Amino acid sequence: MGLRQQKLADEIRDLLAMQFQGGRMADPRLQSVTITAVKVSPDLQIASVYFRVYEDDKVVDAEAGLKSASGFLKKQLASNLDVRRVPELRFFFDKSVEEANNIESLLQKLKDES
């Protein structure tokens, strides 16, 4: 990822994270959402936003809430970013914690077998 992409991704992540602090989002589906990472496409037109929720059973509700709030969030970004065009926001559940736990358990099994 280029420097410009990384800087924009970091700025978007910080601005979005601020929107979810302190109950600023009125939608109850978004109360437990935490923004974990943002990746921006090379042409700066698409921002893939990764999120986590405290309770795994609320992922579907959070995705629906984020989809419905995407226009509002994009408007907030437009007022705070110094870019010609605000990237389209696409939301994805961050599975890295589960993947890390899976790798850890596999490594532990290998260690126990040897």
CA-nearest of 74, 80, 69 to 31 is: 69
The domain of 59 spans 3-113
How many other C-beta atoms lie within 10 A of the C-beta of residue 106? 10
The total number of structural domains in the chain stands at: 1
Q: What is the pLDDT of residues 66-96, one digit of tens each?
A: 999 999 999 999 999 999 999 999 999 998 8
Where residue 82 sits, what CATH number does that domain have?
3.30.300.20
Better-predicted residue by pLDDT, 21 or 43: 43
Q: What is the pLDDT of residues 30-48, one digit of tens each?
A: 988 999 999 999 999 999 9
* CA gap 34, 36 in Å, rounded: 6
Which pTM value belongs to this model?
Answer: 0.84
